[in-house]
C-alpha cells in the first residue's frame, strides 16, 4: 500500500478575509519541486486590474481567487476579417467560424466578418514564483487565459476554472499557454468553452510540467466538428518539453486530446478519455509518449495513424515489467471500452525517464472512479490514489 500525502500549505489570515487556503499537496512527475509563491502571505485580489497586476509582477505571490474575475468586455470588441473553414459544415447551427489570426484562413474559405472579445485573444503574462489558487468552487477566470512564457518559471495553477474565451471562433483564445518556461504545475483546473486550445505548449522549451487532476470539458455550442464537441484540446509542440499528464478527465472532445510533437516527452498515466468522436492521441515526428493505466471510453480513434513519433502503450505484462527501473513500478495496461486500437511498443523511450518522480499507476479498473471523484475544481481536499511519498531525487528550482 502506497503512503498518501495530502498537505494543506500556506494557511494564514489576510486583510479582508478570515482565512486563506493555500496550495494543497505537491506535484509529482516532471514538475516535482515546483513551489510557486511558496510561503508568501495569501492575497485576495479585489478585481481584474489587481489580479492582472499581481500575476504579472516580479514578486513571489500566493493569489487566492474567491469569485469570478470577468474579463469579457474589459478590452473592448474587435470587428474584422474572418472566414468559414471547410470544417464548419453546419453554419448557424453550432459550427465554429474563424478569426483570421496569423493569416490562418485559407484562400478557398469564404470570407466573413467576425466580432469578438479582444481580451480573450491574449493571455495574462504570468510572472515567476506564483501560486494561483481557487477557493472551493468559486475561483473562476472568465474571458482571459494564462500565458507562462519568456523565462517565467516556478508557477502553480490550482483549483480554478478558466472559461468563455470567444468559444464561437477558432483562434478566439487559448486557456493556458506555455512557451519558454520551467517548473509548472497545473492541478485541479477546469477548462471549458474556449475558442482554440485548452492547453498549448510550444515552440520554445518549457521543460518540466505536470498537469494533474484536471477536467477538460469539451461540451460546446460551437464545435469545429459540428457535433457539440470541442476539437482543439491539447497541443504539445515544445522544442524540449517533459510533461506528466496524470489523473485528468478529458471528455466530449473530437480531436487533439492530445496532439504531441516538437521534442516532447510525455508520460500519460491514469487519465480518463471519454466520449471523443474524433481522435485522442496524435503523435507527430519528435513526440515521445509513454501511456499507461489510462481508460478510453467511447473514443472513436484512440491513436491517429500513421504514428510519426514513438509511443509505448503497455501491451503485455513482460513489456510492462520493463518500466520498473525507470518509473519505479510496472506499467499498468490501458483499458479500451468501445474505443479504437492503442498499440505502441517503443520500449527504448523508457530510458528517458531516469531520475523521474513518477506517479504510481492505478490498475485500469480503478481509474474511472478515481478520476471522476478527484478531477476538476472543488476537489483538492480529497484523497488522490496516485499521490504518494517518494524518496527519489526531486528536481530543484
Q: Is 256 labeled as catalytic in the residue annotation?
A: yes
Residue 110 makes CB contacts below 8 A (sequence gap 6+) with 83, 84
**Nine-digit cell string for 307:** 504514428
Residue 14 backbone phi and psi in degrees, to 5:
-145, 160
Residue with cell 473514443: 299
Q: Enter the C-alpha cell of residue 216.
A: 477538460
**Residue of 61, 242, 256, 390 marked catalytic:** 256
CB proximity list for 18: less than 8 A, separation 6 or greater: none
8 Å CB contact between 173 and 207? no
Cis omega (within 30 of 0) for bond into 221: no
Instruction: Tell the burial category of 44 from Cβ atoms under 10 Å away from its Cβ (0-12, 13-18, 19+).
Output: middle
C-alpha angle 98-103-106 in degrees, rounded to nearest 5: 70
* Rounded (5°) CA angle 208-209-213: 155
Residue 72 grid cell: 469579457
**Count of Cβ atoms closer than 10 Å to residue 12 Cβ:** 14
Question: What do you get for the CA distance between the two ends of the chain, in Å?
Answer: 30
Give the separation between CA 278 and CA 22, rounded to whole angstroms.
Answer: 38
Q: How far, CA to CA in Å, does 240 sit from each of 174, 198, 307, 362?
A: 21, 20, 20, 28
CA pair distance 185, 148, nearest whole angstrom: 11
- Cα distance between residue 10 and residue 41, in whole Å: 7
Residue 90, classed as helix, strand or coil, is coil
Q: Are 23 and 31 in contact (CB under 8 A)?
A: no
Question: Would you name the residues annotated as active-site residues?
Answer: 256
Amino acid at each position: 500500500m502506497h503512503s498518501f500525502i495530502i498537505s494543506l500549505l500556506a494557511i494564514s489570515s489576510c486583510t479582508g478575509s478570515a482565512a486563506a487556503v493555500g496550495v494543497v499537496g505537491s506535484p509529482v512527475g516532471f514538475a516535482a519541486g515546483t513551489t510557486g509563491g511558496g510561503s508568501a502571505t495569501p492575497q485576495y485580489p479585489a478585481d481584474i486590474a489587481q489580479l492582472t497586476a499581481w500575476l504579472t509582477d516580479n514578486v513571489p505571490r500566493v493569489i487566492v481567487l474567491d469569485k469570478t474575475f470577468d474579463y469579457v468586455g474589459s478590452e473592448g470588441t474587435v470587428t474584422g476579417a474572418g472566414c468559414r473553414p471547410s470544417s464548419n459544415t453546419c453554419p448557424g447551427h453550432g459550427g465554429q467560424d474563424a478569426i483570421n489570426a496569423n493569416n490562418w484562413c485559407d484562400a478557398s474559405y469564404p470570407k466573413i466578418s467576425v466580432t469578438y472579445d479582444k481580451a480573450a485573444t491574449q493571455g495574462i503574462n504570468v510572472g515567476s514564483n506564483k501560486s494561483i489558487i481557487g477557493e472551493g468552487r468559486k475561483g473562476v477566470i472568465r474571458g482571459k487565459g494564462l500565458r507562462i512564457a519568456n523565462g517565467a518559471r516556478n508557477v502553480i495553477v490550482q483549483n480554478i476554472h478558466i472559461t468563455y474565451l470567444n468559444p464561437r471562433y477558432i483562434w478566439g483564445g487559448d486557456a493556458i499557454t506555455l512557451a519558454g518556461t520551467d517548473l509548472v504545475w497545473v492541478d485541479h483546473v477546469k477548462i471549458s468553452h474556449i475558442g482554440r486550445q485548452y492547453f498549448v505548449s510550444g515552440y520554445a522549451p518549457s521543460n518540466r510540467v505536470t498537469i494533474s487532476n484536471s477536467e477538460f470539458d469539451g461540451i460546446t455550442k460551437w464545435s469545429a466538428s459540428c457535433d457539440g464537441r470541442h476539437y482543439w484540446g491539447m497541443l504539445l509542440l515544445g522544442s524540449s518539453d517533459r510533461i506528466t499528464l496524470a489523473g485528468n478527465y478529458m471528455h466530449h472532445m473530437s480531436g487533439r486530446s492530445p496532439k504531441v510533437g516538437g521534442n516532447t516527452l510525455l508520460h500519460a498515466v491514469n487519465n480518463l478519455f471519454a466520449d471523443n468522436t474524433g481522435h485522442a492521441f496524435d503523435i507527430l515526428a519528435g513526440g515521445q509518449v509513454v501511456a499507461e493505466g489510462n481508460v478510453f471510453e467511447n473514443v472513436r480513434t484512440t491513436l491517429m495513424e500513421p504514428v510519426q513519433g514513438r509511443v509505448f502503450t503497455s501491451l503485455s505484462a513482460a513489456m510492462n515489467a520493463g518500466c520498473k527501473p525507470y518509473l519505479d513500478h510496472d506499467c499498468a495496461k490501458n483499458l479500451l471500452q468501445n474505443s479504437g486500437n492503442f498499440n505502441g511498443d517503443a520500449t527504448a523511450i523508457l530510458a528517458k525517464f531516469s531520475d523521474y518522480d513518477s506517479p504510481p499507476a492505478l490498475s485500469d479498473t480503478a481509474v474511472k472512479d478515481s478520476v471522476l471523484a478527484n478531477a476538476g475544481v472543488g476537489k483538492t481536499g480529497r484523497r488522490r490514489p496516485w499521490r504518494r511519498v517518494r524518496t527519489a531525487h526531486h528536481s530543484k528550482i
